[in-house]
Amino acid sequence: MLRVLKYNIDFSHINYTVEKFLLELGYTRKIITHLKKYEKSITINGKWAYVKNKLQLNDILTVTLSETNDNNIIPNKLLFDIIYEDEDILVINKPAFMPIHPSLKNYDNTLANALTYYFNSKNESIVFRCITRLDRDTTGLCIIAKNRLAASILNAQTKKHEIQKIYVAICEGEIDNSGEIEAPIAREKESIITRCIDFEKGDYSKTLYKRLRYNKKADISLVQLKLLTGRTHQIRVHMKYINHPLIGDFLYNPHNTLMNRQALHSYKLSFVHPITREKMDFVAPLPTDMQKIISEITI
């Protein structure tokens, strides 16, 4: 799949080298090295250019990103919703019970399989790069990068906590109106999956929460959560830590069977587009199984 990007050089970038200009835009040295391997992947005014060439006013710098999809993901027609798509990204509303990546027990039922089928049907091919990953049973919004530059810039935003993620969950009991949970998370001993609170060996973790509704009859709360860090199972572990575990969470609350999965939904994503630098905001409504549980409780 090709992505062609054109830049019109203005006064602020006169005498910049191509390399310096691209680094300023978010290209990594690894991407630039990759570009150097291919003829005419970088041109100035239509002529093949080197990364040490200097730019002049009104030059047209063209960068052609190309790559071959060789990850051997099996295409499979699976249901999922595309909230937004352009040349660089997709925003997906992932359904429940769909893993992100193929694994030994989930070889052809993942989001990667579904997107491979989707792009094959359009005679396109991309390397699957999921930026904001979700657990298998968690629903909602996640970002897919369609090229290595978009992925690099979005991953940098993730590391700087510039991608804002808001979740909605249903938890046991009547939670406080609002608060924060600041407790370090570590891998539980002798487990490759389960996490726990560990004040000696855990990684710093912080979650903000706000109660949206409380159903006294069912003794459940609808809660909005904002992650200030991005640890594995962070919301699930933090909510258990304050004695309000998520309903249906077989791993951290196995005795609750109100749902057949943890009641957790990636509700809102806000970030800056990696190429256009436009502010992007997306919302995905609650899935039907969570709506059914909360019945008259709405956001």
Nearest to 284 by CA among 124, 23, 84, 28: 84
Q: What is the pLDDT of residue 299?
A: 52
Classify strands 279-283 and 264-272 as parallel, antiparallel or unpaired: antiparallel
pLDDT of residue 298: 53
CATH 3.30.2350.10 for domain 165-266, yes or no, is yes
Give the integer Cα–Cα distance in Å for 165 and 128. Answer: 21
CATH number for region 2-66: 3.10.290.10
- Amino acid 168: pLDDT: 98
For residue 218, the model assigns a pLDDT of: 87
Selected catalytic residue, list 59, 88, 135, 249: 135
Structure tokens at 186: 């570590």
DSSP state at residue 13: G
Report the chain (299 residues): mean pLDDT per 10 consecutive residues. 94 96 96 90 95 97 87 90 97 97 89 94 90 95 96 95 96 96 94 94 96 90 94 96 97 94 97 97 96 72
Tell me the pTM: 0.90
User: 135 catalytic, yes or no?
Assistant: yes
Radius of gyration of the chain (CA): 22
198-207: pLDDT as tens digits: 999 999 999 9
Sequence spans of domains, the chain: 2-66, 165-266
Q: Which own/partner pairs from 42-47 qualify as long-range (CB within 8 Å, at least 24 positions apart)?
A: 42/18, 44/18
pLDDT in tens, 266-293: 999 999 999 999 999 999 999 999 999 8
The residue assigned the tokens 């609002």 is 178
pLDDT value for 226: 96
Question: Can 2-66 and 165-266 be said to share one CATH topology?
Answer: no
